[in-house]
Chains A and B, each alone.
Chain A
Amino acid sequence: MTLPGGVHAETYQQDRALIRTRWQWLWFAGFVAVLLLLPFIGIGKAVGIATVIGITLIAVLGLQLTSGCAGQINMGQSAFMGVGAYAAGALAANLHWSFLLTIPIGGISAAVFGAVFGLAALRIKGFYLALTTIAAQFIFTFAMLKLPKEWFGQSEGLRLDPAALGSFAFNTDNRIYYLVLAVAALMTYGAWGLMRSRTGRAFIAVRDNDNAAEVIGINVFYYKTLAFFIGAFYAGIAGALWAYYVRYVQADQFTLWLSVWYLGMLIVGGMGSILGAIIGAVVIRLLQELITVAGPQVADVLPALGGQFVFAAMNMLLGGLIIVFVIFEPRGLVHRWNIVKESYRIWPFPH
């Protein structure tokens, strides 16, 4: 119910709802409309960028669940993504299975791989856990390059046919964009559902105070493993989509570097918040795109600097941005956004 003093829920159902006012519905509908119409209104590389953002978002959402919500540091998210990409890719390239099967299987494969590293979380925390998950990265690369060539193609990687439903193939940028959009929307909705149900609260309980969690009957071991399972599942789905997007899978695409970027996106967006993962993934990806576009132009204007230098400088700028965030806004952009929201809601009264 909307009163001059604000929006007041009258039922628990309203109190729990994600979208609570007519204006929020309007904004949401507008946002969805823009996403749906992007291929028609999009300029230049907009659709391609949006597709990459969508895939990144799914992986970052998974990392948010594992690291941001359940507090289990994970530096191997891109390896988990790679496992998903290879699993889906191998099934599609070698056995010609439908993407309706290979994408979920990619997710599950990554989830199982991730859960194995989650087992380590029972014994170790923080830095040591981070180190263990970095090991996932190296094991992944090593395994993919050494396993039989008929399975994963070794250094040649895997080449995929486009995802297809009957005679309809997701073989253009626009078509794959819609596929990614649908999956990303589903995964985002799922993450929100998880976080406002029993599992999500248990994750946060384990993160905030695992002793207290244990004392109220939460099986901490189970939920730490589950956090890795679900987070890696998201990564696997993202990897599988990536495989169908670039239609080429190779171990070099899934580096430790990428895992670190994903963590950077969480920090910039805001740890522990689904919206934070979305904001972080979008903002950092857009900045990266901006750099690839602006870099050569700066180099054209100032040829004395040289292309190499400009590119390196831009990356330093982006890295510097993360450092600035850690120092000045450790709770991320989503926290800033919440402050803005609070203040305009109660405007003109400061309390």
Chain B
Amino acid sequence: MPELAAAPELAAVPAPATAPIMRADGITLRFGGVTALSDVSFEIGASEIHAIIGPNGAGKSCTLNCMNGFSLPQQGRLFFREQDITGLPPHRIARLGVGRTFQGLQLFAGLSVVDNLLTGRHMHMKTGALQGFVYRGWAHAEELRERRRVEEIIDFLEIKNIRHKLVGSLSYGLRKRVDLGRALAMDPRVLLMDEPMAGMNLEEKEDMVRFVIDIREALDIPVVIVEHDMHVVMDIADRITVLDWGHVIARGGPQAIKGDPAVIKAYLGAEVRR
């Protein structure tokens, strides 16, 4: 694992220098009597790796669900490039450029790797049902054009040898990679990743970390990552937002978070002292 001490330390800077890509403004999310998020605000700056951490049940996944429209907060607004996206259905938010990977496996098991990635191209394609029915001509040309982009992603993720396999037959680590590929195929302007390292062995984690860093470098997009593995988070995150019981209890760079007494109390403690 390469040392990432050189990562920009943003702890001292309250807001990123450029305009934020995504912004949450005081979102509160309740399920019946349970308040999952209360008055959560944060900003995702251009091309930063932003980690959201917190103990189990802190509201990390709820935050992601609000960001891509799965959950509608009762209070507060969400902005994508200063456009209010609160209340938009998930597919509309996706079309604006919010890509997301999942905690579990949420692939289309009945499709091959190539087709899963092509499905990720859906919003960039235009063929309708009638053109599909005719197939020759327009639909065929579009298939070939989009295939080229998909192959670039397959190259990037080093999954060339499995491109025609049904994803249902792949190992967990590879499926996670295909999941990432499908999100990348959307050409997102921001990538949300829900626990990309969960359930992976060391080697698979190292690969995934490398991909996350490469994505940020190559595509120059911010990556929002919800993760439990503190080593990974401290190594790659530029900024960290810490949640506990639905409240933001700290935010800042990895160094600041490591030393933050509220964070240590809530969660990190033993892990960082090592």
Contact = CB atoms under 8 A, between A and B. Distances in A.
Interface residues of B, number: 44
Given A16-B143, A216-B119, A216-B123, A207 B110 contact: yes
A216 B89 CA distance: 12
Contacts of B202: none
A204 interface: yes
Contacts of A190: 133-135
A193 B107 contact: no
A213 B144 CA distance: 22
B2 interface: no
Nearest to A15: B147
Contacts of B109: 208-209
A175 interface: no
A219 B91 contact: yes
Given A193-B139, A216-B186, A272 B119 contact: no
Contact of A198 (B142, B151, B182): B142
Interface string B91-122: 10011000110100011111100010011101
Contacts of A197: 127, 131-132, 135, 139, 142-143
A12 B148 CA distance: 8
B110 A200 contact: no
A183 to B, nearest CB: 13
Nearest to B145: A12
Contacts of A202: 119, 122
Contacts of B151: 12
Nearest to B138: A197
A199 B131 CA distance: 9
B144 A13 contact: yes
B132 to A, nearest CB: 4
Interface string A196-232: 1111111011011101111111111000001000100
Contacts of A212: 102, 106-108
A205 B111 contact: yes
B133 A193 contact: yes
Which of the four size classes fits the interface of chain A?
Answer: 20 to 34
User: How would you classify the secondary structure of chain A's contact residues: helix, strand, loop or mixed?
Assistant: helix
A192 interface: yes
B135 A208 contact: no
B215 to A, nearest CB: 16
Contacts of A189: 135
Given A198-B122, A199-B132, A209 B143 contact: no
A189 B68 CA distance: 38
Contacts of A192: 135
Task: Tell me which of A211, A218, A226 has the highest count of chain B C-beta atoms within 10 A of its own C-beta.
Answer: A218
A321 interface: no
B90 interface: yes
A194 B139 CA distance: 9
Contacts of A16: 140, 143-144, 147
Given A205-B108, A209-B107, A217 B144 contact: no
B144 A201 contact: no
Interface string B60-96: 0000000010100000000000000000011100110
Given A196-B135, A212-B106, A201 B129 contact: no
Nearest to A211: B106
Interface in A100-116: none
B95 A193 contact: no
Given A197-B127, A198-B127, A215-B94, A208 B132 contact: no
A197 B109 CA distance: 17
Contacts of A213: 108, 119
A209 B90 CA distance: 14
A214 B108 CA distance: 12
Contacts of A230: 129
Nearest to A189: B135
B49 interface: no
A214 B135 contact: no
A230 B119 CA distance: 20
Contact of A204 (B90, B91, B108, B143): B108
14 contacts: A12-B144, A190-B133, A192-B135, A197-B143, A198-B132, A201-B108, A209-B107, A212-B102, A212-B107, A215-B102, A218-B91, A218-B119, A218-B122, A226-B129
4 nearest CB pairs, A to B: A193-B135, A217-B123, A197-B132, A217-B94
Given A16-B140, A198-B125, 17 more contacts: A192-B135, A193-B135, A197-B127, A197-B143, A198-B139, A199-B128, A200-B132, A201-B119, A201-B122, A204-B119, A209-B108, A211-B70, A214-B91, A216-B94, A216-B119, A216-B123, A219-B91
